[in-house]
């Protein structure tokens, strides 16, 4: 899994490449903890290059959402496709979170 961050205005976009599973979630958790602790509270997760997400990955996403809620933050997802989109639908996450077709659309909704 590869994580990268870019800042667009007051929104932080996190791009994830590869697989989000039991092996990689600890890296994701630490990365997101640092970002939230640094005061970033408007976050878009760009899943356009995420190939796979497991139940461990879903738990980590939920943990991120809960941490952001405690600081009145916002979390949105963009570019879900294929298996990742299917997992979000089946798990009910699609109805729990704001999901957008593009990164730009997600950023615009956070303004």
**Phi, psi at 63, each rounded to 5°:** -65, -40
User: How do residues 65-100 score in pLDDT, each as one tens digit?
Assistant: 999 999 999 999 999 999 999 999 999 999 999 999
Q: What is the mean pLDDT of the chain?
A: 97
Residue 3 pairs in a beta bridge with 16
Q: Which domain holds residue 64?
A: 2-109
Cβ(74)–Cβ(55) below 8 Å: no
The CB density around residue 49, as the number of other CB atoms within 10 Å, is 14
Q: How many domains does the chain have?
A: 1
**The predicted structure's pLDDT at residue 102:** 97
User: How do residues 22-55 score in pLDDT, each as one tens digit?
Assistant: 999 999 999 999 999 999 999 999 999 999 999 9
| Nearest partner of 19 among 111, 97, 84, 105, judged by Cα | 84
Q: Can you give the CATH number for the domain in which 31 is found? A: 3.30.750.24
**What's the pTM value of the predicted model, to 2 decimals?**
0.95
**The predicted structure's pLDDT at residue 111:** 83
């Amino acid at each position: 899994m590869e994580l990268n961050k870019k800042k667009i205005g007051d929104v932080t976009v996190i791009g994830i490449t590869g697989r989000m599973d039991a092996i990689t979630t600890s890296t994701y958790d630490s990365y997101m903890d640092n970002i939230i602790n640094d005061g970033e509270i408007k976050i878009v997760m760009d899943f356009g290059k995420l190939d796979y997400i497991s139940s461990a990955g879903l738990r980590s996403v939920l943990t991120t959402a809960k941490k952001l809620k405690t600081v009145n933050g916002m979390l949105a997802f963009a570019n879900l496709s294929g298996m990742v989109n299917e997992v979000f639908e089946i798990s009910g996450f699609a109805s729990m979170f704001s999901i957008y077709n593009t990164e730009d659309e997600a950023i615009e909704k956070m303004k």
